Chain A
Amino acid sequence: MAGYILKRLLSAIPVILGITVIVFLIMAMIPGDPATAILGSYATPENVEKLNRDLGLDKPLAQRYVIWLGNMLTGDFGRSFSLNRPVLDEILDRFSATLILAGTAFVLCSLIGILAGAISAARQYSLADKAITFVVLIGISVPSFFLGMMMILLFAVKLRWLPVSGMYAIYGGGDLPDLLAHLAMPALALAAVATGVVARLSRSAMLEVLRQDYIRTARAKGVPEGRVVYGHALRAAMVSIIPVLGIQAGFVLSGAVYIEMVFQWPGVGRMLVDAILKRDILLVQGGVVFVSACYVLFNIAVDVAQGLLDPRIKT
């Protein structure tokens, strides 16, 4: 297993390199002169030239890429001009908030989605199945940002159960209950779409598996039906559910951008949107590379989980 994990980790290196190349090339498409874009059109030619030199923009493209990559490897993602602090520091500060939000949503969507899908399949065409199917349809159709806004109206404004936005109360907050109260709505809103997708897939995966010969064998052995469905069948269905969880993690991470905007959550997504609006290119560049690389690593964890579950995969 250790060898397998190592092999998968090594395979991530070219993917992450590819990501840096793509991000670099996209950023190189910026029309006009980035230094002018940063300094504004009233900047003096000397200042523009100095910034260009500082940013290394006077060198050829390939050389600039190598320098940029080398700097990132030593932890130097450059300096955000809009925040006037190192890009990496800002990303690390913000990323923990995103991780809490997206991680919670991911756990929620996996647990609820798989359970709902399994129940839906086990009681196909029952009232429970129809209710789940209906909720799932709404879940996958409603834009997460709109859902979040409606939740604020209902739970924060009307019922006053939960705080409207932010991660901690401004005065006196900061403990775990405070965090959970602030986390509840954004995590649920973020999880909604992914939960729907996971539930749908789990349902069809279960129905597929329940037709398999080994399920008939389990029944022939006299295994009780509950155990047939939630033991034998669900375990086999997980083989096709887990890769989808990996894909959904990407969607949860993406949705976090909207949810962070709606709930004023101090995460990477909001940082990126602000950075784009302020044309803080280094911050965008660093943020995109950092989060994408984390996502690649997460997908390796998913592969490893799949290898642990399914002995047929050569590890």
Chain B
Amino acid sequence: MTAFLRLLFRNRLAALGAAVLALILALVILAPLLPLPDPDATATAERFARPFSPGHLLGTDHLGRDLLARLVHGTRMSLAIGLAAALAAAVLGSAIGIVAGYAGGRTDNIIMRAIDMLMAFPYILLALAIVAALGPGLLNALIAVAAVNIPFFARNIRGITVGLAGREFIDAARLAGMGHGRIILSELLPNVLPVIVIGVSTTVGWMILETAGLSFLGLGSQPPQADLGSMLGEARAALITAPHTSVVPGLMIFLIVMSINLLGDGVRDALDPRLKSGALSRPRATTRVDRKGPVPDAPAKGLLDLQSLETQFHVGPRVYRAVNQVSLHVGRGECLGIIGESGSGKSVTALSVTGLVASPPGVVTGGAVRYEGEDLLGMPYGRLRAIRGEKIAYIFQDPLATLHPLYRIGAQMAEAIQVHHRVGAKEAEGRALELLRAVRIPNPESRLRNYPHEMSGGMRQRVGIAMALANDPEVLIADEPTTALDVTVQAQILALLDELRRERGLAIVFITHDFGVVAQLCDRVAVMYAGRIVEQGPTAEILARPAHPYTARLIACVPELGGGKRELAAIPGLPPVVDKLPPGCAFAPRCDRARPDCRAGEIALAGSGRHDVRCLHPEVTP
């Protein structure tokens, strides 16, 4: 609770709202003690006195009544009526909601239908109808506003009650012989009460405004009794000659509603964990680059080179080192596998290449990514965009989430071409058709008109591949493209990728957590753990003689077809969270070969250069 309040008041606007509201409340509560004149004492000789005139700080109204006194009493009335309406709506609405949710079945159905009917009205028409029936008056306005807001509470509370009614503690209470009334009062009510309280706090401002509105129309408080709305309504006749009589109550309503809104926004933000994690901030067009050290020199060779790449996530005071000093290279026609458990940093490595890591919170803090010798990280947006999809293309894991749900397949593929080449719509579509054929999608003509949700997972993944190939890229980065698919489809897609590599000389970076897939496709493989490469080398050699204990355990996870009965060895424990890594080997806590020196300090990636390992006590020496 104190943490919540601290968070709330760190939000300066919310604090301001709270302060203004507290001031108004204090004014209203202390009203009887303040030395104010009688708010209803008329003095026609002094009508429409301007503000700051002697004896009347805010002036007087059309009957010569002191505006300050009327303002304080009107505010008191408006707040009281608004609060009463909110409470009445909360009590009745919640009662209906709890009963409907608890009873379920037909009772629930009938009640909620009726509530839906009430919600079909534009709210004020319902309020007007009620006032029309009961007659104008403050109490009737209160009843009308409360009645109109009952559906809001009924629906919310019913939703929560339905969730609670199926839970064990309600069954237990029922078995213990408690009556329905007692279950509702002693078991359900305490659980929904916080929601009711939040509901009241978010609607009270609204209800103050609504009752003031009805009074403004002349349907609420009747003279001489005054609330802010009727003050404003009465002042309207003299709007042009004596504007201050309108401004004073109008500003007060504005202040009350605004301070409640500010406070409400603050509460909502403080309760929303997404705000703190940065999940509500807009990701930039490219990942932010903030390199602490010098940019490494360009190497002589290579199509795509990652040099000591460091990508971090900065979330509040925490720094997650998702990618730590990763160096990789891939040449034309070559396939490099990156393997590791989820959270090992392999996807972030791949996304860092063309600046696709969401930022904030992602930041590239060091190293370089070179495509044909040119550093992509420091490149201006326009040039990087020209490379994205044209030279370096991606295939993502889950094509249902990664294809735009509202565009047809054909349009999405055509767009991939048209953002890089000036071609007409017809031509782009023709090319899209060709691509769909190339990835062996049956009936490609009709598929172009499909939306992603109308296709199967395998078909969608083929569309993803086809789209990546749209501009005949040089490098294809495939981020677990087969994980969501069944085995036969997976095999087909791997075969397809392999064929493309051989035919088009494509360089492929293949990210996976499955050594079986790596064995089929990759020439070389890099094993990642906790943001670092722990072993790299030719696939065949690593499969035959894994040096790092982690690699060995990963390989042991792959079931062998025809390999007879063998215990599949899961790796005990979980990969570490990369914000507070211990010194030394990150795998040490899960490693049965670990010795004290493993935890002592930095361990270098060492070996022949063809096959390297980051381990002091490897299974074999590479």
- Identify the A interface with B (CB < 8 A): 15, 18-19, 21-23, 26-27, 29-31, 121-122, 124-125, 137-138, 140-143, 145-146, 149-150, 152-153, 157, 164, 204, 206-208, 210-225, 227-228, 232, 235-236, 239, 250-251, 253-255, 257-258, 261-262, 272-273, 275-277, 279, 281, 284-285, 287-288, 291-292, 295-296, 299, 309-312
Contacts of B218 in A (CB 8 A): 273, 277
Contact assessment for A137 and B398 in the assembled complex, using a CB-CB cutoff below 8 Å: no
- Which residues of B (278-327) have their CB < 8 Å from a CB of A? 279-283, 285
Chain B min CB distance to A38 (Å):
13
User: Across the two chains, which residue of chain A brings its CB closest to B258?
Assistant: A141
Q: Mark B224-253, 1 if CB is under 8 A from A, else 0.
A: 000000001000100110010011001001
* Contact count band on B: 35 or more
A223/B117 contact (C-beta < 8 A), A210-B282, A254-B124, A292-B125 known: no
CA distance A145 to B416 in the complex (A): 50
Contact assessment for B133 and A27 in the assembled complex, using a CB-CB cutoff below 8 Å: yes
Contact assessment for A281 and B132 in the assembled complex, using a CB-CB cutoff below 8 Å: yes
Q: Which of A29, A206, A273 has the largest count of B CB atoms less than 10 A from its CB?
A: A273
Contact assessment for B120 and A18 in the assembled complex, using a CB-CB cutoff below 8 Å: yes
Chain A min CB distance to B591 (Å):
34
CA distance A276 to B135 in the complex (A): 8
Q: Which of B124, B253, B402 has the largest count of A CB atoms less than 10 A from its CB?
A: B124
Contacts of B257 in A (CB 8 A): 141-143
User: Across the two chains, which residue of chain B brings its CB closest to A217?
Assistant: B402
Identify 7 new A-B residue pairs, CB closer than 8 A, beyond the known A213-B396, A216-B358, A222-B385. Answer: A23-B129, A124-B282, A146-B232, A152-B240, A223-B415, A254-B125, A311-B454
Contact of B193 with A by CB under 8 A: no
Chain A min CB distance to B124 (Å):
4
- Identify the B interface with A (CB < 8 A): 113-114, 116-118, 120-126, 128-136, 209, 212-213, 216-219, 232, 236, 239-240, 243, 246-247, 250, 253-254, 257-258, 261-262, 279-283, 285, 351, 354, 356, 358, 381, 385-390, 393-394, 396, 398, 401-407, 415-416, 419-420, 451, 453-454, 467, 470
A143/B388 contact (C-beta < 8 A), A121-B282, A214-B404, A284-B129 known: no
Contact assessment for B120 and A296 in the assembled complex, using a CB-CB cutoff below 8 Å: yes
CA distance A122 to B236 in the complex (A): 41
Chain A min CB distance to B241 (Å):
10
The contact of B415 among A19, A145, A221, A309, by CB within 8 Å, is A221
User: Across the two chains, which residue of chain A brings its CB closest to B279?
Assistant: A211
User: Across the two chains, which residue of chain B brings its CB closest to A225?
Assistant: B285
A-B contact count (CB 8 A): 229
Contacts of A214 in B (CB 8 A): 401-405
A254/B129 contact (C-beta < 8 A), A225-B285, A225-B381 known: no
Contact assessment for B123 and A29 in the assembled complex, using a CB-CB cutoff below 8 Å: no
Contacts of A222 in B (CB 8 A): 385-390, 416, 419-420
CA distance A108 to B497 in the complex (A): 51
CA distance A299 to B246 in the complex (A): 36
User: Across the two chains, which residue of chain A brings its CB closest to B265?
Assistant: A137
Chain A min CB distance to B302 (Å):
22
User: Across the two chains, which residue of chain A brings its CB closest to B281?
Assistant: A124
